[in-house]
Structure 1
Amino acid sequence: MSQNRILSVGATFPTFKKQAVVSIEKGKEFADITNEDHIKREQWMVMFWWPKDFTFVCPTEIAEFNKNYDEFRDRDAVLVGASTDSEFVHAAWRRDHEDLRGLRFPMLADTSKSLAEELGILEAEEKVAYRVTYIVDPQGIIRWVSVNDLNVGRNVAEVLRVLDALQTDELCPCNWQKGEETLVG
């Protein structure tokens, strides 16, 4: 297990500028993305990490986030996928894997592992990121963190439920769903 402390709720999300795969169209594959992108647009950011490209659980999650892309956009949230693989590996995987060709969000390449290390999410042995999901508010503050072990996929519907609850800025009871009553404090 990693001895790192995972950056958690209430902390400022780290500053970063990384290459990301944004397309499979020749000459338009790569773009820089930063932590400031969502702040400038006053949007929420949902960043989810996976351990490795060209694996089995990861594409099921990435495809599910992509299926729900409009749900995140409707909630004024920027969606960013990330791993410690290079942008070239990301691009090859997108071209190779049918479920990843039409992704509508960037695949961030943390090749130096500096962002994953600052977040405290590197697995100790292989130095790959755990399956971690961050919800960051428009001011750059981490409002939710979920960590899964390497072999267990996450629940995208739960990420959306928590984003909905956070955006109410009210008290939300257990199992609360969008449209239900919140609690009076």
Structure 2
Amino acid sequence: MSLINTEIKPFAATAYQNGEFIEVTDANLRGQWSVVVFYPADFTFVCPTELEDLADHYAEFRKLGVEIYSVSTDTHFSHKAWHDSSEAIGKIQYPMVADPTGTITNNFEVMREGQGLADRGTFVIDPEGRIQVMEVTAEGVGRDAAELLRKVKAAQYVAAHPGEVCPAKWKEGEKTLKPSLDLVGKI
């Protein structure tokens, strides 16, 4: 069953952000656009490359009013230790959410059965708390923050322009489509 257009489920967790432990709940993901990025584990291999890529694009996401939340089943203490010891992870300014109980990971249906680790799941959540974009990749397949940024812009555009849709490879400022009977078979 797809999670697209479903509302996020309640959760409460501790996160590491900018030298502090903070509380993050489902309420933080409402009222603004949010991106939740699940990854298998701290101190691994593909994960720091993805999280650093997000850190490098973080200012662009923030300009769009988007907060990023990275989530793994590690503890907030592990997140802090990784942040303090890795040059790549040290760039991160967004909340690194700890989910040692697996509540959030299970809520988003990306828990690996019997492993206690998250799959590489990416979710774009609108201000009403509904999932608008979701993608899950295999452990060895890293994600691209620039492509995620493009998808966020498309989701925001569609939300702000009812009746319009963004075609493949759409970029901000490019032509959109208005589905109608007259357009059927003409694309």
Q: Secondary structure of 1:135's match?
A: strand
1:38-89 C-alpha deviation (Å, 9 max, x unpaired): 42xx210001010010001000000000000011111111111110000111
- Write out aligned runs for 1:133-172 (5 A): 133-169=122-158, 170-172=164-166
Aligned to 2:161: none
TM-score by length of 2: 0.89
Q: Secondary structure of 2:134's match?
A: strand
TM-score by length of 1: 0.90
Counterpart check, 1:117 vs 2:111: no
Residues 165 and 176 of structure 2 are in contact (CA less than 8 Å); yes or no, is this contact kept in structure 1?
A: yes
- Work out which of the residue numbers 40, 44, 47 in structure 2 matches 1:58: 47
Distance in 1 between the 2:28 and 2:119 partners?
A: 24
Can you give the 5+ residue segments of structure 1 that lack an aligned partner in the other structure?
none
Counterpart check, 1:20 vs 2:9: no
1:86-143 C-alpha deviation (Å, 9 max, x unpaired): 0111111111101112311010000101111122111124220000000000000000
1:22-51 C-alpha deviation (Å, 9 max, x unpaired): 123xxxx20101111242xx2100010100
Question: Any runs of at least 4 consecutive aligned residues in structure 1 with deviations exceeding 4 A, and if so which?
Answer: none
- Write out aligned runs for 1:79-118 (5 A): 79-118=68-107
Distance in 2 between the 1:128 and 1:38 partners?
A: 22
Moved more, 80-89 or 94-103: 94-103
Number of matched residues? Answer: 174
Give the root-mean-square deviation of aligned CA atoms. Answer: 1.2
Q: CA deviation at 1:184?
A: 2.2
Distance in 2 between the 1:75 and 1:178 partners?
A: 12
Distance in 2 between the 1:38 and 1:77 partners?
A: 10
Can you give the 5+ residue segments of structure 2 that lack an aligned partner in the other structure?
159-163, 180-187
